[in-house]
Structure 1
Amino acid sequence: MGHFKNLTIATALAGLLGVTGLAGPATAQESDPSLLALGVGWYDFNLGDDEAADFRIEYRHGQGFFDILKPFAGLEVTSDGSVWAGAGLALDFKLGNHVALTLSSGPGYYSEGDGKDLGSELEFRSQAELSYIFDDKARLGVAVSHLSNAGIGDRNPGTEVLSLYYMVPLHSLTGN
C-alpha cells in the first residue's frame, strides 16, 4: 500500500503543477505525435523476491479525450515468462519545451508464467515517467510502475518495475 501512496502523492504533485501553471498545458496539441514506446526494465526491483528483466512495447496515441487524457495500449513480458497486456489513459504534463511528466494507469490481463504470482489475472498498472523530448519529438525516459490487483484477488503482493523507455513518433516510421 505504501507504493500506491507514493504514486498518489506523485499524481497530486503533478496535478498541482498543472493547476499552478508551472507545467505546460496537459491538452493534446498538434505537435503531440502518436508514439511507439520501447522499454527495458528491472522487474520487482524493490523487493528482489522475483527479480527479472522486463521488456515493453506500447502505443501511445497523440490525441486525447477532452484534450487531457491520452489512450495507450501495451504489452509487457519478463525474462521469467510473466506477461501483462493492457490499455489505459495517460496524462502528459510538459515541463518546459524538452521535459515531460507522464502519469498513466490502466487494467490488463496478467499471466505469471514462471514469474511472480500477483494474485489475479486482472492487474492494474500505474506508472510515473519523466522523459526528455528531443527536437524531432522522440523521447528518452525513466519510469517507475506498480502492478497490483487492487485487492480483488485472494492475495495482492504487487510489484514495482524500474524502466528505461525510448519513444519514437509513428510518423517518422511511416513517413507520414
Structure 2
Amino acid sequence: MIIAAPAVQAQIKDAADKGGDDPSFLAFSAGYHDVHDNHDAFEGRIEYRHGEKFWIFKPVVGVLATHDEAVMGYAGVLVDIYFGRRWVLTPAFTPGLYRKGDGKNLGGTVEFKSQIELSYRFDNRSRLGLGVSHISNASIYDSNPGTETVFLTYALPLGGPR
C-alpha cells in the first residue's frame, strides 16, 4: 500500500499537467467575420469560460460585435480536449440572440454559433489559440445565409489553478 501511494500521486499530477485543473478563463478574441461572403467585417469577442465541468461540458457565456454594429449575446457549452500538456482543442456550441445593425442579415434574432479552436497552453495556464466559427439559424426562419469567422483568442486564467 505504501508503494501504491506514489503511483496514484503521479497519475493525479499527470491529469493536472494535461489541464484537468484548469481555472475559469476570460477570453478575448479578434477575427475576420463573414469570410465566405460579401459582408466582411472585423469581429471582437469577450467570453467567460467556466472552469467547472458538468460531465465533460463547461459553461461559456459571451458577446461578439462587428465594426458594422452587428451584435450577438450567447451562452452554451464547450469541451476542452487536451493533447499532452500544451495543446487544447475546444469545440463549443452556443445559442444566442443576434442584432444585425448595419451588418449581415442572418434571417432572424435566434442564432446558433458553433466553433472549434486550437490553443497553445502556457505554464501559467493562459492560452493563445486560432479558431473558426459558424453562425446560422438552423433554418428556423425562411432565410438562413449563415456566416463564418476566423479568429485569434487569448484566454486569461482567473484565480489560478483550482
Which bracket does the TM-score occupy, shorter chain normalised?
Answer: 0.7 to 0.9
**Structure 1 counterpart of 2:33, from 39, 43, 55:** 43
Matched, 1:102 2:119: no
Counterpart residue type for residue 51 of structure 1: D
Give how far 1:28 is off. Answer: 7.7
Contact 1:71 1:89 in 2 (8 A): yes
Rg bigger for which structure? 2
Contact 2:19 2:85 in 1 (8 A): no
Provide the aligned C-alpha RMSD in A: 1.9
Give how far 1:46 is off. Answer: 2.1
The alignment partner of 2:159 has SS state of: helix
Distance in structure 2 (CA, Å) of the matches to 1:153 and 1:135 = 46
Matched, 1:62 2:51: yes
Q: Which runs of 5+ in 2 are unaligned?
A: 1-14
The list of structure 1 runs, each at least 4 consecutive aligned residues, that deviate by more than 3 angstroms after superposition, is none
Of Structure 1 and Structure 2, the greater strand share is in 2
The alignment partner of 1:155 has SS state of: coil
Counterpart residue type for residue 42 of structure 1: Y
Give how far 1:32 is off. Answer: 1.1
Distance in structure 2 (CA, Å) of the matches to 1:51 and 1:71 = 29
The alignment partner of 1:140 has SS state of: strand
Contact 2:19 2:82 in 1 (8 A): no
Distance in structure 2 (CA, Å) of the matches to 1:159 and 1:118 = 8
Aligned pairs (5 A) from 1:27-176: 29=20, 31-47=21-37, 49-66=38-55, 68-171=56-159
Give how far 1:57 is off. Answer: 0.1
Give a deviation string over 1:9-61, Cα, whole Å, max 9, x none: xxxxxxxxxxxxxxx89x983x21100000000000122x1000000000000
Counterpart residue type for residue 168 of structure 1: L
Normalising by the residue count of structure 1, what TM-score does the alignment of the two structures yield? 0.79
Give a deviation string over 1:121-173, Cα, whole Å, max 9, x none: 0000000000000000000000100000000012000000000000000116x
The alignment partner of 1:137 has SS state of: coil
Normalising by the residue count of structure 2, what TM-score does the alignment of the two structures yield? 0.86
Contact 1:28 1:62 in 2 (8 A): no
